[in-house]
Chain A
């Protein structure tokens, strides 16, 4: 089975600082990392390959330095890495990126499953899986975990706070993987050495994919403005005896509809 995994390189959210104007991020301190949910998607792909054989191909869009993220995917165990890199793609919105990725999946050929992380932690949009599925004309399962293959039916779990249930989908399909029990593996030291010193990251441009500027640059989404997440409210300390404090804690949680 041939599985494509979409990988996005983002600025490490733990290290990102905001500039003084608080309207832009200051990328100087922040390392570029693989979007953490995408590592879960890659882990799920590698587990499927280990059980059923086949090939895992990591796929990303961006400038040349994004190949670093793909090398990390190779180090974790991906068989091939392909970077879609073209100046035309630099201005593309989510729909343009989805179209380019879908075209790449078709260009690779014989792909029966596309895995993505549930969302990118930088923009937090989470629309890529659905857009990709639409471009490919395939079904999509979002918030999926622990995918298992039975014949050509893929089963995965979805969950809410209270329960989880199993969903099945016929391949080919797009699956957006949420955080799951199986943590992404550490890339073994030996594969890191290979991935960064010797491995090849294939680079495709729009010509290779037969994509015209109109197909990519037509913007279907518009960015109105950026707002910072609300400041966290400070906590407060409950006073009184342990019994009283416990009672007021429960009341407080009930009041906020948390329990």
Chain B
């Protein structure tokens, strides 16, 4: 067993860290305050080839697999959760759905420009009446010759306000429901009837755009069915699985930053005549943070290895997301406790990190859903089939 990263991954991390420090960190507070997407970063991400990291080179990617993609999001998570979220929605679930479920023709047409960063992606599943209960979606797709007509509304769609290519789930057969009645489609933003609705005013990740998408008689060519008709859930659940691993990686990055800040501050801040580092209460917090981070790091990169070696990873992906989001939240919370009132100040990044970290417990499947995913897999291994 060898736990060291191969040389290209070490070099890739070095490049991404420098990029994150030079190009992303300086904007993190600004985009949060100004409530806007870091537009100026996107061409730089494209130039550095960071918008298609996991995909094979023949599809315009860098061919660095899930491990490279985890490194990317860990490093972005260290400096800016909004930027990590933008990349995650573009690569991890938007483009990933096309990579996992698309035909060769769809990949050439849609995945290649996405992986090169010439086009940007979003992934549209959630609806007003269907969040955790994804099977309750009501967006309808009705076949009409060689096309489908889509009607419905999606909400909370990351990158929704500007995405060029959107992977969308819609009901093709209401009688069959989630098992055979839901289909995934590739929608281009130019299709008539496709509209961006309201932009969400959020507590955190304010530098990422979360939008409502409206489908009003949108004609989608039948050639844009992603995967098989009726099996949309399979395609989407596979992308979500992959996305959960890297969401864990982004959380790992956030937790690491919180720990580094806590240590740095505890070294210099003096109370009762000596640095905080000498107080046992602070030592305990720092030790627990470090132990959790180390465990998370092992879990995330082992799961990335499962993905890259084509082994089952659904259970572990749920664990990455569940533990990652909770560990990140706890670490940021502890770092704030160590900083005292200073940590609560808006002049300091911790309050932003606290607001940003909370979303990871909610999106890409709430942590309750992750527990169900993990338990379902555990019971499946024991011969029991859990039904929702």
Q: Which residues of A contact B (CB under 8 A)?
A: 31, 33, 68, 71-72, 75, 185-193, 195-197
Contacts and interface: CB of A to CB of B under 8 A. Distances in A.
Interface string B15-59: 100110000000000000000000000001001111011000100
A101 B170 CA distance: 65
B8 interface: yes
A187 B15 contact: yes
A185 B19 CA distance: 10
Interface of B: 6-8, 11-12, 14-15, 18-19, 44, 47-50, 52-53, 57, 61-64, 68
A222 B190 CA distance: 71
A193 B63 contact: yes
B8 A190 contact: no
Contact of A190 (B11, B44, B49): B49
B14 A33 contact: yes
A188 B8 contact: no
B49 A188 contact: yes
A71 to B, nearest CB: 7
Given A68-B7, A71-B7, A196-B7, A190 B57 contact: yes
Given A189-B12, A197-B8, 18 more contacts: A68-B7, A71-B7, A186-B15, A186-B18, A186-B44, A186-B47, A187-B15, A189-B48, A190-B57, A190-B62, A191-B49, A192-B11, A192-B64, A193-B63, A193-B64, A195-B11, A196-B6, A196-B8
A95 to B, nearest CB: 32
Contacts of B18: 186
A197 to B, nearest CB: 6
A71 B48 contact: no
A187 B11 CA distance: 9
Given A71-B11, A196-B7, A196-B11, A189 B68 contact: yes
15 contacts: A31-B14, A68-B11, A72-B11, A186-B15, A187-B15, A187-B48, A188-B47, A188-B49, A189-B62, A190-B49, A192-B11, A192-B64, A193-B64, A196-B6, A196-B7
